Amino acid sequence: MKQNVFVHMPSFILLVFSYLLIALLFFVVYKKQQNPPKVWKGLLVMLIGIFSFSIHFNLSSEVTKIPILPLGVVFLYWFLRRKGNTERWSRYRRYAWLGFWVNFIFLAFSFLNSPLEHLMFPKDQPSTYMQDVEKASLIITHPAGKDVTLNNEVLQVQVDKMKQNQIKYESWYYKINEKNGYKERFPYLLTGTVPEKGSGLETVIYVEDDGKGFLITPNNGGQVYFRSEESVLTGGAEKSE
């Protein structure tokens, strides 16, 4: 496993677009106002308006929050209208409400994160998880592993030829039970691989005993299983049934 030091590009792209949209809305509000305040004051009011009471729920294994009560707007309404100064509130209220609606802008863009991630980094493509395998190496993690070595040249060729498959967990469990002598199906760990840049992935990759199967566990949840056309192992690798 090798940590991907690059940023998560889908999140970065959406964050940039959300800030651009917020800046555009602020500019529109500011230009339409006949007697606008100083820019920094409008920005400060907008930032305070962002504060809100929100409800949280899990969506696709991520915590999402929906703003319910505009606490920042309520505070500004009280603060700016002190001593009956309704004109000051009237001058700043659009910025306060813009701050509250900023929460919904971020919420809307957060819903686009997963589709954009799937588009940029397809889960059914092995290169998403191991784009660079030049420095890959093999570690035997179970006594069932044979004295084999990794053929890096074959691995580099096979990455583009691997196909995603369904792994039969019940059959796998049966093969490793006590009556079958605890046969380990994935006795090797593939290290030194680098996921696709910008994916933000960290992966744990196990290699099947025949050298053709790859069980990948990414840090964003779930497991994927790929099969190659040719074994990437050389030596005494044992064929799986």
β pairing state of 163-164 and 224-227:
antiparallel
Q: Where are the beta strands (DSSP E) in 159-199?
A: 163-164, 188-191
Question: What per-residue confidence (pLDDT) applies to 241?
Answer: 39
pLDDT at 47 over 90: yes
Question: What per-residue confidence (pLDDT) applies to 7?
Answer: 77
pLDDT tens for each residue of 10-23: 999 999 999 999 99
- The identity of residue 77, as a single letter, is Y
Token pair listed for 68: 């319910």
Q: How far apart are CA 210 and CA 225, in angstroms?
A: 14
C-beta separation of 199 from 7 below 8 A: no
Q: How far apart are CA 83 and CA 41, in angstroms?
A: 20
- The identity of residue 208, as a single letter, is E
Which residues make Cβ contacts (< 8 Å) with residue 119, sequence separation at least 6? none
- The identity of residue 145, as a single letter, is G
Residue matched to tokens 């677009």: 17
pLDDT at 84 over 90: no
pLDDT tens for each residue of 112-163: 998 999 999 999 999 999 999 999 999 999 888 888 999 999 999 999 999 9
Q: How far apart are CA 167 and CA 9, in angstroms?
A: 30
Q: What is the mean pLDDT of the chain?
A: 87
Nearest-CA neighbor of 198 among 2, 4, 3, 1?
4
C-beta separation of 207 from 192 below 8 A: no
Question: What per-residue confidence (pLDDT) applies to 58?
Answer: 74
CA distances to 9, 115, 124, 219 from 119, rounded to whole Å, are: 12, 6, 11, 18
pLDDT at 106 over 70: yes
Question: What per-residue confidence (pLDDT) applies to 75?
Answer: 96
Question: What per-residue confidence (pLDDT) applies to 184?
Answer: 79
